[in-house]
A = this chain, B = another copy of it.
Amino acid sequence: MATGWQEIHDEALRRIQSRDWPPGALIPNEAALAREFGCARATVNRALQGLAKAGWLERRRRAGTRVTLSPQRRGQLAIPLIRHEIESKGQIFSHAIITRQTAEMPSPQRAALGLQGAPYAQHVQTLYLADARPFAFEDRWVNLAAAPDFATAPLDRISPNEWLVQNAPFAHGTLDYSAAPANTAGPHLNCQPDTPLMILERRTFGPDAPVTHVRLSYAPNFHLHLKI
Protein backbone atom coordinates (compact mmCIF):
# COMPACT_ATOMS: atom_id res chain seq x y z
CA MET A 1 0.00 0.00 0.00
CA ALA A 2 1.40 3.30 -1.07
CA THR A 3 1.46 6.20 1.30
CA GLY A 4 1.69 9.94 0.83
CA TRP A 5 0.93 11.77 -2.38
CA GLN A 6 1.20 8.60 -4.48
CA GLU A 7 -1.67 7.06 -2.59
CA ILE A 8 -3.85 10.04 -3.44
CA HIS A 9 -2.62 9.92 -7.04
CA ASP A 10 -3.48 6.25 -7.37
CA GLU A 11 -6.88 6.59 -5.71
CA ALA A 12 -7.79 9.53 -7.91
CA LEU A 13 -6.69 7.62 -11.02
CA ARG A 14 -8.79 4.68 -9.89
CA ARG A 15 -11.82 6.90 -9.55
CA ILE A 16 -11.23 8.32 -13.02
CA GLN A 17 -10.73 4.96 -14.72
CA SER A 18 -13.65 3.39 -12.91
CA ARG A 19 -15.81 6.36 -13.92
CA ASP A 20 -16.49 7.06 -10.28
CA TRP A 21 -15.43 10.49 -11.50
CA PRO A 22 -16.85 10.38 -15.03
CA PRO A 23 -15.33 12.19 -18.02
CA GLY A 24 -16.02 15.90 -17.88
CA ALA A 25 -17.04 15.89 -14.23
CA LEU A 26 -15.87 18.44 -11.72
CA ILE A 27 -14.01 16.78 -8.88
CA PRO A 28 -13.85 18.07 -5.30
CA ASN A 29 -11.46 20.93 -4.79
CA GLU A 30 -8.08 20.53 -3.17
CA ALA A 31 -9.19 21.63 0.27
CA ALA A 32 -12.02 19.09 0.30
CA LEU A 33 -9.76 16.26 -0.84
CA ALA A 34 -7.19 17.25 1.76
CA ARG A 35 -9.86 16.88 4.42
CA GLU A 36 -11.00 13.56 2.96
CA PHE A 37 -7.49 12.10 2.90
CA GLY A 38 -6.45 13.76 6.12
CA CYS A 39 -3.44 15.53 4.69
CA ALA A 40 -2.25 18.98 3.76
CA ARG A 41 -3.52 20.67 0.62
CA ALA A 42 0.00 20.71 -0.84
CA THR A 43 -0.01 16.92 -0.81
CA VAL A 44 -3.23 16.79 -2.78
CA ASN A 45 -1.85 19.45 -5.10
CA ARG A 46 1.18 17.34 -5.88
CA ALA A 47 -0.92 14.29 -6.68
CA LEU A 48 -3.36 16.16 -8.91
CA GLN A 49 -0.65 18.04 -10.77
CA GLY A 50 0.82 14.73 -11.76
CA LEU A 51 -2.52 13.54 -13.11
CA ALA A 52 -2.99 16.81 -14.96
CA LYS A 53 0.44 16.55 -16.58
CA ALA A 54 -0.39 13.01 -17.62
CA GLY A 55 -3.54 14.28 -19.28
CA TRP A 56 -6.17 12.77 -16.98
CA LEU A 57 -7.29 16.04 -15.44
CA GLU A 58 -7.74 19.61 -16.59
CA ARG A 59 -7.23 22.20 -13.94
CA ARG A 60 -8.15 25.87 -14.07
CA ARG A 61 -8.14 28.46 -11.38
CA ARG A 62 -11.50 29.38 -10.12
CA ALA A 63 -13.13 26.81 -12.42
CA GLY A 64 -11.75 23.83 -10.50
CA THR A 65 -10.50 20.45 -11.71
CA ARG A 66 -12.31 18.37 -14.31
CA VAL A 67 -11.75 14.87 -15.66
CA THR A 68 -10.49 15.19 -19.22
CA LEU A 69 -13.25 14.42 -21.69
CA SER A 70 -11.24 12.28 -24.07
CA PRO A 71 -7.84 11.76 -22.53
CA GLN A 72 -5.18 11.87 -25.18
CA ARG A 73 -2.67 9.27 -24.25
CA ARG A 74 0.98 10.14 -24.65
CA GLY A 75 3.64 7.63 -25.44
CA GLN A 76 7.11 8.03 -24.06
CA LEU A 77 9.55 7.40 -26.85
CA ALA A 78 13.11 7.00 -25.72
CA ILE A 79 15.71 8.18 -28.22
CA PRO A 80 18.75 6.12 -27.42
CA LEU A 81 22.14 6.22 -29.02
CA ILE A 82 22.21 3.67 -31.81
CA ARG A 83 25.03 1.96 -29.98
CA HIS A 84 22.93 1.55 -26.85
CA GLU A 85 19.95 0.45 -28.91
CA ILE A 86 22.02 -2.38 -30.31
CA GLU A 87 23.94 -3.29 -27.16
CA SER A 88 20.75 -3.45 -25.12
CA LYS A 89 19.69 -6.34 -27.33
CA GLY A 90 22.91 -8.15 -26.53
CA GLN A 91 24.43 -7.55 -29.94
CA ILE A 92 27.86 -6.21 -30.87
CA PHE A 93 27.84 -2.67 -32.17
CA SER A 94 30.15 -1.37 -34.85
CA HIS A 95 30.08 1.28 -37.51
CA ALA A 96 31.77 2.04 -40.80
CA ILE A 97 32.25 5.39 -42.48
CA ILE A 98 31.23 5.11 -46.13
CA THR A 99 31.97 8.65 -47.29
CA ARG A 100 33.15 11.79 -45.55
CA GLN A 101 33.70 15.12 -47.19
CA THR A 102 33.39 18.82 -46.57
CA ALA A 103 31.11 20.57 -49.01
CA GLU A 104 28.43 23.14 -49.39
CA MET A 105 25.21 21.99 -47.80
CA PRO A 106 22.58 21.24 -50.44
CA SER A 107 19.27 23.04 -50.58
CA PRO A 108 16.95 20.45 -49.04
CA GLN A 109 19.03 20.16 -45.90
CA ARG A 110 19.64 23.91 -45.76
CA ALA A 111 15.92 24.50 -45.92
CA ALA A 112 15.18 21.85 -43.32
CA LEU A 113 17.58 23.52 -40.92
CA GLY A 114 16.51 27.05 -41.81
CA LEU A 115 20.01 28.06 -42.82
CA GLN A 116 20.63 31.08 -44.99
CA GLY A 117 23.53 31.49 -47.40
CA ALA A 118 25.81 28.60 -48.23
CA PRO A 119 27.39 27.43 -44.98
CA TYR A 120 30.19 24.93 -45.14
CA ALA A 121 29.23 21.61 -43.82
CA GLN A 122 30.48 18.10 -43.55
CA HIS A 123 28.69 15.25 -45.25
CA VAL A 124 29.08 11.81 -43.71
CA GLN A 125 27.54 8.53 -44.69
CA THR A 126 27.74 5.86 -42.04
CA LEU A 127 26.67 2.27 -41.78
CA TYR A 128 25.73 1.04 -38.33
CA LEU A 129 26.03 -2.66 -37.70
CA ALA A 130 24.69 -5.09 -35.14
CA ASP A 131 26.66 -8.32 -34.90
CA ALA A 132 28.35 -7.25 -38.16
CA ARG A 133 25.01 -7.14 -39.95
CA PRO A 134 23.63 -3.87 -41.32
CA PHE A 135 21.34 -2.14 -38.85
CA ALA A 136 20.90 1.33 -40.30
CA PHE A 137 22.34 3.58 -42.97
CA GLU A 138 22.87 7.21 -42.05
CA ASP A 139 23.22 10.20 -44.34
CA ARG A 140 24.23 13.19 -42.23
CA TRP A 141 25.06 16.84 -42.81
CA VAL A 142 26.77 18.72 -40.01
CA ASN A 143 26.82 22.51 -39.91
CA LEU A 144 30.50 23.24 -39.23
CA ALA A 145 29.68 26.72 -37.98
CA ALA A 146 27.83 25.14 -35.05
CA ALA A 147 30.24 22.24 -34.46
CA PRO A 148 33.65 23.15 -35.97
CA ASP A 149 35.48 20.35 -34.19
CA PHE A 150 33.40 17.79 -36.03
CA ALA A 151 35.66 18.28 -39.04
CA THR A 152 38.50 16.60 -37.17
CA ALA A 153 36.50 14.16 -35.07
CA PRO A 154 38.03 10.65 -35.06
CA LEU A 155 35.01 9.03 -36.65
CA ASP A 156 36.79 5.74 -37.08
CA ARG A 157 36.75 5.31 -33.33
CA ILE A 158 33.51 7.02 -32.37
CA SER A 159 30.39 7.19 -34.48
CA PRO A 160 29.08 10.54 -35.74
CA ASN A 161 25.96 9.95 -33.69
CA GLU A 162 27.85 9.49 -30.47
CA TRP A 163 30.46 12.17 -31.11
CA LEU A 164 27.78 14.79 -31.59
CA VAL A 165 25.85 13.71 -28.52
CA GLN A 166 28.98 14.05 -26.43
CA ASN A 167 30.40 17.18 -28.03
CA ALA A 168 27.54 19.24 -29.38
CA PRO A 169 24.80 19.26 -26.78
CA PHE A 170 21.62 20.51 -28.29
CA ALA A 171 18.64 22.40 -27.10
CA HIS A 172 15.88 20.95 -29.23
CA GLY A 173 15.08 19.15 -32.44
CA THR A 174 12.50 17.27 -34.42
CA LEU A 175 12.06 13.65 -35.39
CA ASP A 176 10.11 12.50 -38.37
CA TYR A 177 9.43 8.84 -39.03
CA SER A 178 8.04 7.62 -42.32
CA ALA A 179 8.04 4.62 -44.62
CA ALA A 180 9.84 4.68 -47.97
CA PRO A 181 11.58 2.39 -50.44
CA ALA A 182 15.20 1.63 -49.64
CA ASN A 183 16.40 3.19 -52.93
CA THR A 184 20.12 3.95 -52.79
CA ALA A 185 20.40 2.72 -49.20
CA GLY A 186 19.41 -0.76 -50.39
CA PRO A 187 22.87 -2.02 -51.28
CA HIS A 188 24.25 -0.96 -47.91
CA LEU A 189 21.45 -2.74 -46.07
CA ASN A 190 21.47 -5.88 -48.23
CA CYS A 191 18.01 -5.33 -49.59
CA GLN A 192 16.30 -4.45 -52.83
CA PRO A 193 15.75 -0.78 -53.78
CA ASP A 194 11.99 -1.26 -53.46
CA THR A 195 12.07 -2.83 -50.01
CA PRO A 196 9.98 -0.78 -47.55
CA LEU A 197 12.13 0.74 -44.83
CA MET A 198 11.49 2.88 -41.82
CA ILE A 199 13.06 6.29 -42.36
CA LEU A 200 13.97 8.72 -39.60
CA GLU A 201 14.67 12.32 -40.49
CA ARG A 202 16.11 14.22 -37.60
CA ARG A 203 16.91 17.90 -37.27
CA THR A 204 18.97 19.09 -34.34
CA PHE A 205 19.38 22.66 -33.13
CA GLY A 206 21.87 24.00 -30.63
CA PRO A 207 21.21 27.00 -28.44
CA ASP A 208 22.38 29.35 -31.21
CA ALA A 209 22.44 27.57 -34.54
CA PRO A 210 21.25 24.45 -36.36
CA VAL A 211 23.66 21.59 -35.86
CA THR A 212 22.82 18.63 -38.02
CA HIS A 213 20.37 17.02 -40.40
CA VAL A 214 20.20 13.25 -40.51
CA ARG A 215 18.37 10.80 -42.67
CA LEU A 216 18.51 7.36 -41.16
CA SER A 217 17.32 4.31 -43.08
CA TYR A 218 16.67 1.37 -40.80
CA ALA A 219 17.20 -2.15 -42.05
CA PRO A 220 14.07 -4.20 -42.75
CA ASN A 221 12.11 -5.48 -39.74
CA PHE A 222 12.98 -2.48 -37.63
CA HIS A 223 10.19 -1.72 -35.17
CA LEU A 224 9.57 1.40 -33.17
CA HIS A 225 8.10 0.29 -29.89
CA LEU A 226 6.25 2.36 -27.29
CA LYS A 227 4.32 1.68 -24.14
CA ILE A 228 1.39 3.77 -23.12
Contacts and interface: CB of A to CB of B under 8 A. Distances in A.
Nearest to A200: B224
A176 interface: yes
A179 B81 CA distance: 21
Contact of A197 (B162, B175, B177, B179): B179
Interface stretch (A26-34, A66-74, A92-100, A136-144): A66-74
Contacts of A84: 72
Interface residues of A, number: 45
Given A70-B166, A179-B179, A197-B196, A174 B79 contact: no
Interface of A: 17-19, 23, 70, 72-81, 84, 162, 165-166, 169, 171-181, 194, 196-199, 207, 221-228
14 contacts: A17-B171, A23-B166, A70-B81, A72-B79, A72-B84, A75-B78, A77-B226, A79-B228, A172-B227, A174-B225, A174-B227, A175-B227, A177-B177, A196-B197
